Amino acid sequence: MKERELTCIGCPLGCALTVTMDGDQVLKVEGQSCKRGEAYGRKECTHPTRIVTSTVAVKGGSMARVSVKTKTDISKDKIFSCMEAIRGIEVQAPVHIGDVILKNVAGTQTDLIATKNVL
């Protein structure tokens, strides 16, 4: 058996989690103060995901770049593919919060969306 020490990011408390595993199987999660902690510990040890944030160039806007993020979390092993897909994108102003900048970014089944208005 193996133990992993994690800091939970499921809520603002930041609980210190201990996840006990047997191979790829989670046996128990300890140290959480809420239900989200257990779910986070299990997911982080079996299928870690992240929201990717970045910026893309804006042509003809009040600002040169607009902040973007993936609409949902993606598998951690797809982050570099996602960033490669984002590199070199240039959008035309105006850009509004929630606009889809790139559909199905890097085959992740999630869209890249704008998180700021650039007029």
- Please write the tens of the pLDDT for every residue from 14-32: 999 999 999 999 999 999 9
Degrees, nearest 5: CA angle 110-116-119: 120
Copy the structure tokens of residue 56.
């893309």
Reduce the DSSP state of residue 36 to 3 states and report it.
helix
Reduce the DSSP state of residue 68 to 3 states and report it.
strand
Looking at beta carbons, which pairs linking 24-30 to residues 24 or more positions away fall under 8 Å? 27/1
Q: What would the pLDDT profile of 36-91 be if each residue is shown by its tens digit?
A: 999 999 999 999 999 999 999 999 999 999 999 999 999 999 999 999 999 999 99
Reduce the DSSP state of residue 31 to 3 states and report it.
coil
**In the structure, what pLDDT confidence band is assigned to residue 113 with cuts at 50, 70 and 90?**
very high
Question: What residue spans of the chain are helical by DSSP H?
Answer: 35-46, 79-86
Dist CA 43 CA 6 (whole Å): 12
